């Protein structure tokens, strides 16, 4: 519902907007150090250069952005590296909350403000969750901090003011994306900042201001959720009418109301200043009766959907816009009459087509069954599970890898349950009494030597997880357990500057080399728009080293040019910068990153790679078995890494991930057995789930199982 009731009744704001009214801003202009609004006494804005200290850093306010929901939004920066942040300030003013109430709500805020997948995966399910939450006990304020500027994106309320009503097709796309996010929220295991894990959560606060729209062009946009009720409503005074405990059905009803407002083009009746009534038939557009009935069902006006999943499945059954359809059924008498009018020749033709189609379907499934059996033959020959590996030595074994390397990243993922990959591998075979402890080390000069491998040579670690297995000394052995690789991605931008389409979804290694050595500096040089290139690089040292070897050909001069040109930062930050640049159309960013951080996101489009005169090789495929194309909506999550692309060696930026251990029979075979554990069916399934590429295709029944067994 659209809420018009004032929230802070104890403060007599003449504008009924104490969070960000013009009187408050006037106070700040006249008295920059003021603590309260001169008109109503509501807490004043935070002045520029205010510093806020958190556990992950110190942040400085650079300016007010506005207000949203129960808080004020400020632009800011991290003091350590000047990276942009958005800070949301929540207030617990003394007239509305006594000291005990304020402290209790601050404590709760620190426990619940933010959710993430309990399995630890870096999944983009289009929900803003704070990077850090802070409670200022002295000032009775709380803060959320998010990296980048994405949280300042346009709300759907602002969209309506600027652009007016959406077309039916646009409303359907909003619903499609929103229902997918709600399906995730309602069903997945999620973790709160306190560490508590919960099976599903209700948003409870869906409205035009808690949904953000990030636009790419007229045909493409992304919808993000923000401001969940579980922490947003902590700052509603007790005097404000509290809603009932939210439930999944309420989320669907509120989403239906949002869709209604988007289609109609407004949310409030200007005559009564009350929310529009969806039961008023005169308000509805006439263009799509199907969509109207669907929204009625979401709102519970007609038979409600059981869940977000069933609602989305029904939505996906909608025909394309140019197809005429209706949920309204033809009356039995009319249907019978039409059947009798059907020409005999048409009946015969339909019968032939049906027989041919049936034969094709039978051939498809029989053939598909044979193909699948061949695809999974190698997998089926593997040892079934960790517990089936024989000869695992007893003892406590230390192994290592790069501090910021791929293995350090994937160990944090929770692939099957509440346990991380690291915890699953710590005691993989309890009856063997073997414990594997991971202690990563950094390589300050990885071009010269890999510190994890040096640790194994010196006997400081029993084995190492690494991709740098070329030119190993004779006293070391290695066994591959997976494939890793790099995806090269570019930003989406405005329709006339759509880089993936301009590039035909691909780039050559030679072009990549020229970009990262400064020979190509504008997308116009590759047939694109007049847009400066912004080369970025990840922080994972092994990934950078592989890029130097494969793309830069290990040429010291090219590597020096690369280091001078590329901006090095975490892949997640680069992805956020890409999304932030959607509105401006100036996102000339190109970057690369390890598979586990890049394949399951849609901020950037992963380009197919061309090596010499070989055909383009795309690592990311649709579920229908075809490589992705620039016209695909990769945000729908119907994508996967194509294992054959890696096993056949056709993808230029792929490389092995291996266990490296001493070639010494006098030592316990900890490394060799750890590799055996990871190459069981269970191990390969887990490897697939954490974002690496297994050595052979894994059947869906394993990937869909709870524990990969």
Residues facing 627 on adjacent strands: 621
Residue pair 626/441 in contact by the 8 Å Cβ criterion:
no
**Tens digit of each residue's pLDDT (9 = 90 or more) over 340-396:** 334 444 444 444 444 444 444 443 433 444 335 457 888 999 999 999 999 999 999
Average pLDDT over residues 464-477: 93
Q: Are 239 and 652 in contact (CB under 8 A)?
A: no
CA torsion 5-6-8-9 (nearest 10°) is -90
Q: pLDDT-based confidence at 668, cuts 50/70/90?
A: very high
H or E, element range at 674: helix 670-678
Q: How far apart are CA 362 and CA 360, in angstroms?
A: 5
Burial label, 301 (beta-carbon count in 10 A; 0-12, 13-18, 19+): middle
Instruction: Kindly give the residue spans of alpha helices, DSSP state H, lying in 540-633.
Output: 541-550, 556-565, 571-580, 595-598
Report H helices in 427-517.
451-457, 499-502, 509-515
Question: pLDDT value at position 334?
Answer: 33
Going by the DSSP 8-state scheme, the letter that residue 308 receives in this structure is: H
What are the start-end ranges of the H helices in 472-604?
Answer: 499-502, 509-515, 541-550, 556-565, 571-580, 595-598
* Contact call for residues 85 and 145 (beta carbons, < 8 A): yes
Of the listed ranges 131-140, 209-218, 228-237, 454-463, the one predicted with least confidence: 209-218
Percent of the chain with pLDDT over 90: 59
Biggest distance spanned by C-alpha atoms of the chain: 88
Give the C-alpha distances (Å, rounded to integers) separating 434 from 475, 551, 658, 685, 689. 24, 41, 20, 22, 24
Our CA dihedral for 22, 25, 30, 31, rounded to 10 degrees, sits at 140
The residue written with tokens 């003011």 in the block is 161
Between CA 118 and CA 188 the distance in angstroms is: 8
Q: Which residues pair with 133 in a beta bridge?
A: 144
pLDDT surpasses 90 at 490 = yes
Give me the residue label for tokens 């020096």: 560
Rounded mean pLDDT, 101-117: 93
* CA distance linking residue 546 with residue 53, whole number of Å: 38
- Roughly how many angstroms between the first and final C-alpha of the chain, as a whole number? 46
Which residues does 481 contact at the CB level (< 8 Å), separation at least 6? Answer: 657, 658, 659, 675, 678, 679, 683, 687, 695
Residue 122 confidence class, pLDDT cut points 50, 70, 90: low
Measure Cα distances from 328 to 271, 275, 289, 314 in Å. Answer: 34, 29, 9, 15
In terms of Cα–Cα distance, which of 626, 563, 567, 570 is closest to 598? 570
- pLDDT confidence of 436, banded at 50, 70, 90? very high
Domains of the chain by start residue, with CATH: 22-316 (1.10.510.10), 484-655 (3.40.190.10)
The residues that bridge with 162 in the sheet, in sequence order, are none
Tokens of 260: 């209604």
Neighbours of 554 (CB within 10 A): 12
Q: Are 105 and 97 in contact (CB under 8 A)?
A: yes
pLDDT of residue 383: 95
Locate 540 and state its tokens: 């994972």
CB contact set of 350 (below 8 Å; sequence gap of 6+): none
Q: What are the DSSP calls for 116-130, one per residue?
A: EETT------SB---
287-336: pLDDT as tens digits: 889 999 999 999 999 888 999 999 998 998 876 554 333 333 333 333 33
**Coil vs helix vs strand at 222:** strand
């Amino acid at each position: 519902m659209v809420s018009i009731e004032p929230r802070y009744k104890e403060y007599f704001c003449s504008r009924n907007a104490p969070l960000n009214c013009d009187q408050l801003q006037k106070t700040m202009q006249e008295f920059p150090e003021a603590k309260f609004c001169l008109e109503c006494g509501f807490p004043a804005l935070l002045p520029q250069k205010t510093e806020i200290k958190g556990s992950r850093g110190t942040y400085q306010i650079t300016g007010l952005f506005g207000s949203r929901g129960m808080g004020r939004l400020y632009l800011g920066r991290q003091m350590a590296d000047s990276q942009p942040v958005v800070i949301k300030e929540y207030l617990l003013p003394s007239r509305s909350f006594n000291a005990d109430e304020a402290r209790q709500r601050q404590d709760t805020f620190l426990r619940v403000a933010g959710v993430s997948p309990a399995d630890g995966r870096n999944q983009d399910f289009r929900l803003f969750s704070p990077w850090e939450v802070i409670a200022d006990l002295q000032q009775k304020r709380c803060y959320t901090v998010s990296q980048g500027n994405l949280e300042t994106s346009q709300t759907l309320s602002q969209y309506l003011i600027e652009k007016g009503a959406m077309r039916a097709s646009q409303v359907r796309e909003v619903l499609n994306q929103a229902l997918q996010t709600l399906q995730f929220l309602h069903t997945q295991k999620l973790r709160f900042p306190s560490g508590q894990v919960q099976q599903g959560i209700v948003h409870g606060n869906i409205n035009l201001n808690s949904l953000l729209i990030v636009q790419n062009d007229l045909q493409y946009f992304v919808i993000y959720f923000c401001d969940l009720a579980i922490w947003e409503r902590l700052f509603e005074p007790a005097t404000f009418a509290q809603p009932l405990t939210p439930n999944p059905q309420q989320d669907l009803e509120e989403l239906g109301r949002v869709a209604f407002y988007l289609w109609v083009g407004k949310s409030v009746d200007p005559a009564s200043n009350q929310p529009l009534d969806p039961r008023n038939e005169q308000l509805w557009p006439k263009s799509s009766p199907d969509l109207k009935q669907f929204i009625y069902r979401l709102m519970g006006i007609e038979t409600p959907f059981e869940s977000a999943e069933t609602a989305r499945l029904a939505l996906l059954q909608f025909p394309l816009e140019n197809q005429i359809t209706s949920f309204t059924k033809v009356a039995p008498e009319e249907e019978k009459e039409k059947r009798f009018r059907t020409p005999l020749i048409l009946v015969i033709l339909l019968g032939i087509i049906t027989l041919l189609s049936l034969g094709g379907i039978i051939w498809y499934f029989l053939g598909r069954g044979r193909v699948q059996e061949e695809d999974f033959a190698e997998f089926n020959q593997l040892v079934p599970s960790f517990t089936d590996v024989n000869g695992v030595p007893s003892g406590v074994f230390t192994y290592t890898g790069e501090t910021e390397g791929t293995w350090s990243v994937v160990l944090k993922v929770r692939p099957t349950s509440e346990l991380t990959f690291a915890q699953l591998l710590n005691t993989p075979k309890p009856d063997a009494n073997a414990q594997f402890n991971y202690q990563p080390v950094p390589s300050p000069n990885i071009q010269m030597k890999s510190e994890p491998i040096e640790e194994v040579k010196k006997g400081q670690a029993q084995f190492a997880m690494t991709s740098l297995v070329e030119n190993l000394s004779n006293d070391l052995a290695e066994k591959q357990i997976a494939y890793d690789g790099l995806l090269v991605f570019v930003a989406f931008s405005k329709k006339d500057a759509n880089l993936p389409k301009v590039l035909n979804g691909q780039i050559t290694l030679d072009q990549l080399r020229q970009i990262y050595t400064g020979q190509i500096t504008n997308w116009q040089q590759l047939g694109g728009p007049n847009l400066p290139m912004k080369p970025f690089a990840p922080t994972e040292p092994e990934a950078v080293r592989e890029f130097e070897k494969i793309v830069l050909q290990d040429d010291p001069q090219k590597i020096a040019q690369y280091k001078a040109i590329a901006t090095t930062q975490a892949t997640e930050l680069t992805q956020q910068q890409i999304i932030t640049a959607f509105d401006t159309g100036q996102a000339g960013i190109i970057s690369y990153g390890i598979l586990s951080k890049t394949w399951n996101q849609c901020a950037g489009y992963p380009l197919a790679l061309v090596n010499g005169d070989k055909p383009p090789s795309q690592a990311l495929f649709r579920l229908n078995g075809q490589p992705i194309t620039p016209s695909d909506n990769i945000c729908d999550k119907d994508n996967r890494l194509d294992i054959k692309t890696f096993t056949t060696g056709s993808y230029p930026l792929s490389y092995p991930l291996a266990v490296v251990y001493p070639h010494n029979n006098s030592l316990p075979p900890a490394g060799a057995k750890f590799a055996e554990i990871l190459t069981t069916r269970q191990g390969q399934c887990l490897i697939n789930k954490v974002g690496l590429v297994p050595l052979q295709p894994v059947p869906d029944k394993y990937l869909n199982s709870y524990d990969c067994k």
